[in-house]
Structure 1
Amino acid sequence: MANGLLASIDTPEDLRKLGEDQLPLLAQELRDFIIDIVSRNEGHLGASLGVIELTIALHYVFNTPDDSLIWDVGHQAYGHKILTGRREAFGSNRRLGGISGFPKRSESIFDSFGTGHSSTAISAALGMALAANLNGDTEKQHIAVVGDASIASGMAFEGLNHAGVTDANILVILNDNAIGIDPSVGALKQYLTAVKEGRNHKGNNMIKSLNFDYTGPVDGHNVRALVAELRRLQCIKGPKFLHVITTKGKGMPLAEENQVKYHAPGKFDKFTGKILPNEEAGLPPKFQDVFGLTVLDLARKNEKIVGITPAMPSGSSMKYMMDLFPDRAIDVGIAEQHAVTLAGGMATQGMVVFCNIYSTFMQRAYDQLIHDVALQDLPVIFCLDRAGLVGEDGATHHGIFDIAYLRCIPNMIIYAPLNELALQNILYTAQLGLDHPIAIRYPRGRGTMAQWQQDHAGRYEAIEVGKAYCLREGRSVAVLSAGSIGENVRAALAVVEDPERFGWYDFGFIKPMDETMLHHIFEKYERIITVEEGVVRGGFGSAVAEFAVMHRYHNTIELLGVPDAFIEQGTVAELHTLCGIDVPGIVEALRKAAI
């Protein structure tokens, strides 16, 4: 429950009624409110704490929503949401049926543009500004708040390059805190550090050279100074650039000291900041850790192995390899297109490249995947973390499209491991040498083998490419699963009536598919049910249906998976239920198939 000044603010109009001398107190109340809610409900913490004063100043000076405010990478936007009519709903943040953790146009008129991925705000703001010019509105303001890790992305540079030769009324605000989720990297980060420390020559300002009116650096936690500077810039036409220095996690000492851990820390004590124990001891490993530990072990034995990740070394567990082999594990920043083509270039020289990209972010490098890797048949090993439904991050982050967008690419191998052991073995198999690129998709979260590291880690078996496995024979209905969603199938078969009726087949290889096994299945069973944690249209089930059409089989086929809709936020279990691929949903499909 909000108290004090914050309790009186339902819209930015209410905010603008305050005196400037009241804004520091409001900043403290807003910071405390976010800490209170996130400590109990989880979510993104550090990024929003770092822009509290900037958020207040922006809504205080500009006439939002008539002036457009776009947040680049939406996890900065909690304060924005609270000040724009969603204070009372903030307790539902990231929950099923609640508000989104990211800006979302359908949620509020104050969310000028939906932002879940990075580096899009400048292009969107420029598009709005150019449209305003065409509509004869030269007074409207368009503000893009961009993190320093995001501005290093190619798309952000494309936006800056274009904006600098226009008369668009656009203000780009660089939220410079030297960290995205992990610390920022690259030459631009070094340049910004030099600017902050006063070591660069003002005559050598790269932003000014792009025809922007540059101001800064400005203390991003001095709300009065921010208000004064924003009011000055409000009166200047054309492209403007404000360099703001902030501290991620500001106002919470442990979050300031441990910025990676407190990006999204889980539940914590709101008074001390101490992260609460989550009883991880004895739990099965996270799939990302199986990847990271396996690749590290393989890299110890194979000096040709290199790792590439676009700004996710901790989230992908590439950090294990980076710590031991810093020259062979590369963080390229938020630059998925560059990561993919870099991997292709290294593969031409005989390197064994593990390119780890979250499934949802691989979408940003689709042309490079086709043109720079698959077309040239380069054996890059793409490891697609967070494949499937990822939970509370919602529609912008679900990795549900990869099977469909990869399956149509010639030369591409696609593999979805059933469990940790299968993931370890496909990583081992891939580094032995494949003739084609491979995409290995695995989910967010934990597997099923609590003793994986003790019993299986480092004990490898090569996998035959394109082979499916019969896990149990049945009489009349065959269930075909791809990936870890097969564990739901296993649980469903354990409770369904007359289980002997149902056969179960694990199709780890979605492409190439085991056609010999498919012929056996279609000749033996009357009904086929496919189960996948991806979109039904164009996915694994579609591949099975295409096989049936091609070979003139007339069996009844039912496809279970993610429907043709953008799935919102919720726990993974809740979203499985929503899509009908939880255990009860699969049991019901089996029951109907057996009638």
Structure 2
Amino acid sequence: MTSIESVHGPDDLRALSPRQTEELAADIRRMLVEEVTRTGGHLGPNLGVVELTIALHRVFESPRDRIMWDTGHQTYPHKILTGRAGVFGGLRQPGGLSGYPSRTESEHDVIENSHASTVLAYADGLAKAYELRGITDRAVVAVIGDGALTGGMAWEGLNNLAAAPHRPVVVVLNDNTRSYAPTVGGIPEHLALLRTEERPPHSVFENMGMAYVGPVDGHDVAVLEQALQHAARLGGPVVVHCLTEKGRGHAPAEQDEADRFHAVRPRPTTPAVPRTDGPASPDWTDVFGAELTELGARRPDLVAITAAMLAPTGLSRFADRFPERTFDVGIAEQHAVTSAAGLALGGLHPVVALYATFLNRAFDQMLLDVALHRAPVTFVLDRAGVTGDDGASHNGMWDLSLLQMVPGLRVAVPRDAATLRRALREAVAVQDGPTALRFPKGRTGCDIPAVDTAAGMDVLRRAGSGERDVLLVSVGTMAGVCLEAADRLAEHGFGVTVVDPRWITPVPAALVDMGLDHGLVATVEDGGRAGGAGAAVAQALADSGARTPVRTFGVPQRFLDHGRRGDILAECGLTGRGIARAVVEALARRDDAVRIDELAPQPVGGRPAVR
């Protein structure tokens, strides 16, 4: 039997017989199910492209021929076949393989796009570059799913590819009728017609001026090879329409659990330990979804919008109860936001639920289509801050920096389940402009009660004020870290007040007033430091004429490698110990009365070190 171990690179595939390719496909599926259910990752999309990936690497000669993958979450077979099978067990683990294409991993990974609908623009630019440089011996191949065709960038790419009938680009349309969920809209309906015997005389691609090959069986390597070879010979832009089954070869993923098996969580490697401290805390997404549904029962003007991610963003419950008030616009975040502006102009209050990383794609629409019109739209940003194992493209570390630039936008950052529910109620009550709230991936943890309130802000710990006293401004889920830092600083002889503004934008006037009464203001957030919440606080204090020094803690402005959220935050210094140490150092630079060497262990009778 031909196994993965016998394939060290694409060249080894071309000598395989049809039976051997079938055996190899089965072995790849076995590895995918075993390893991905252990490490976590995207299972369904990869099970569906095994034969397609084999055929691509048998027909085209990567890396000379450039094979590019849209989204990139279906490239596990590609990684296995390009020499990374031996390290596949480290998928999405710290120091291991990325869950997406990675140029640092392999010369076969051309682009690192893990946001959908982009690959055709890459292909258009690469083909133009080859033409201008006189390079004619390299193929440009772009693999894109039917779900990604619901995104506007895909059609901008097709429009430009079709404009040059002499420029060869092979577009492989991987049609499995799904993204996270069944694909919606007019495009999937057209593709469905192409799959039937009573198909229209011309496909939309042919009407645009491109060649069209298919539909072909995406699980028959021989048929795929013939179609791809034919497409490569045409010498112009061509769409090869491949029909595949998401989750193929793994019964739970093929059947009614297909959505759940798009991506799977890691399988625990040790037996679960019974809890003795009560039930686990709820998931952030579930808390949001439940609260929105309750609000929807009382507010008939509330509507929900998703960009092909109904379940992942927590809208399934709302959709089940209010289907006529739920809109899935496909992988089209830009359209989602401007459509929300239109809904608001029509007298409704839209709630746009997105992953924080995908808001990046719709910033212009938020700025000019929503905020400029003062439209009452609420943005709910899931997976904000450091998300961890999905890597650089999925960290939601840019949102607070972007949101600071939007005039009239009010931004809430809840610290726990209770403040999330409260923030959502407050956000949808705003009718004179847009609001946003954001929360991270995972569980909420225990609620952190306030000991006091001050002009709408929650005081989590109160101490005196003065030149040796510190005001710690906690942003969202960093509350626990701030309280730990406060405990360490208190042991070191400092008075520390910890405050959670809850609504961080605009900066509350009361926060500025409190800052004037302290010797140092330190802000702590899990987003990027450049232009983030801390920068806004520092600017507000400076604008007030304050001379109080401000120390901002956050994520450095760089693309973070994949890893566990806690480990990444620790590397960024976002721990109680790291913050306490840096605060003491900041005060030491300001005032010689505090010495850096006090951080070292002291002899008996000396001041305790910050531990």
Scaled by the length of structure 2, what TM-score is found? 0.90
Contact 2:334 2:361 in 1 (8 A): yes
CA-to-aligned-CA distance 1:264-295 (integer Å, 9 cap, x gap): 1224599xxxxx98989921111111111111
Amino acid at match of 1:512: P
Counterpart among 457, 464, 472 of residue 468 in structure 1: 457
Matched residue, 2:182? 183
Moved beyond 6 Å, runs of 4+: 276-281
| Deviation of the 1:412 alpha carbon | 1.2
User: What is the distance in 2 between the residues matched to 1:37 and 1:243?
Assistant: 30
Which 10-residue stretch deviates more, 93-102 or 9-18? 9-18
Deviation at 1:499, TM superposition (A): 7.3
Residues 343-399 of structure 1: CA distance to partner in whole angstroms, max 9, x if unpaired? 000101110111111111011111111111011111111111111111111100011
Which of 235, 238, 245 lines up with 1:237 in the alignment? Answer: 235
Which of 501, 506, 509 is residue 495 of structure 2 equivalent to?
501
Does 2:329 match 1:332?
yes
Tell me whether 1:121 sits opposite 2:110 in the alignment. no
Provide the residue aligned with 1:460 in structure 2.
Answer: none
- The equivalences for 1:91-240 within 5 A come to 91-166=89-164, 167-201=166-200, 203-240=201-238
Question: Paired residue for 1:377, among 361, 374, 377?
Answer: 374
Paired letter, 2:310: P
CA distance in 2, matches of 1:577, 1:14: 43
Identity of aligned residues (%): 36
Counterpart Cα distance in 1 of 2:145 and 2:223: 20
8 A contact 2:455–2:510 mirrored in 1 = no
Q: Report deviation, 1:494.
A: 4.3
Distance of 1:471 and 1:488 partners within structure 2: 12
TM-score when scaled to structure 1? Answer: 0.92
Whether the 8 Å contact between 2:507 and 2:540 is mirrored in structure 1 is: no
Q: CA deviation at 1:198?
A: 2.6
Partner of 1:477: 470
The answer to whether the aligner puts 1:358 opposite 2:347 as a matched pair is no
2:562 match: 569
Q: Distance in 2 between matches of 1:432 and 1:247?
A: 44
Aligned partner of 1:402 among 399, 402, 426: 399
Conservation of the 8 A alpha-carbon contact between 2:211 and 2:238: yes
Provide the C-alpha distance between the structure 2 equivalents of 1:162 and 1:279, rounded to a whole number of angstroms.
Answer: 58
Deviations 1:452-511 (A, max 9, x none): 9xxx9xxxxxxx999433222234111111111222223443455247621101122221
Count of residue pairs the alignment pairs up = 575
How many Å separate the matches in 2 of 1:300 and 1:474? 43
CA distance in 2, matches of 1:465, 1:84: 59
Alpha-carbon displacement from aligned partner over 1:154-198 (angstroms, at most 9, x marks no partner):
100111111111122101111111111122111111221222233
Distance 1:310 1:263 in 2: 16
* C-alpha deviation, 1:578, in angstroms: 1.5
Looking at structure 2, the residues matched to 546 and 573 of structure 1 have their Cα atoms a distance apart, in angstroms, of 29
Partners in 2 of 1:527 and 1:430 — Cα distance?
Answer: 31
* Structure 2 partner of 1:448: 445
**Partner of residue 532, structure 1:** 525
Q: Partners in 2 of 1:504 and 1:318 — Cα distance?
A: 34
What letter is aligned with 1:228?
Q
Decide whether the 8 Å contact of 1:140 with 1:169 is kept in 2: no
CA 1:39/1:278 → structure 2, altered by over 3 Å: closer, same or farther? farther
Partner of 1:309: 306
- The answer on 1:516 being equivalent to 2:510 is yes
Runs of 5+ in structure 1 lacking a partner?
A: 271-275, 457-463
Deviations 1:550-580 (A, max 9, x none): 2332323221110021111111111111111
Equivalent residues of 1:53, 1:221 under 8 A apart: yes
Contact 1:474 1:500 (C-alpha < 8 Å) held by counterparts = no
How far residue 52 of structure 1 moved from its aligned partner, in angstroms, is: 0.3
Q: Is the 8 A contact 1:466 1:511 kept in 2?
A: no
Q: Which has the larger radius of gyration?
A: 2
Matched, 1:320 2:323: no
Aligned with 1:15 (options 13, 16, 25): 13
User: Within 2, Cα distance between the matches of 1:426 and 1:218?
Assistant: 50
- Going from structure 1 to structure 2, the CA distance change for 1:68 and 1:387 (only over 3 Å counts) comes to same
1:65 Cα deviation from its structure 2 partner: 0.6
- What is the CA–CA distance in structure 1 between the aligned matches of 2:169 and 2:350, rounded to whole Å? 40
Q: Deviations over 1:81-131 (max 9, x none)?
A: 111122222222212222211112232211111121100111101111111
Letter in 2 for 1:404: S
Corresponding position of 1:65: 63
Conservation of the 8 A alpha-carbon contact between 2:383 and 2:441: yes
Unaligned stretches of 5+ residues in structure 2: 588-593, 595-611
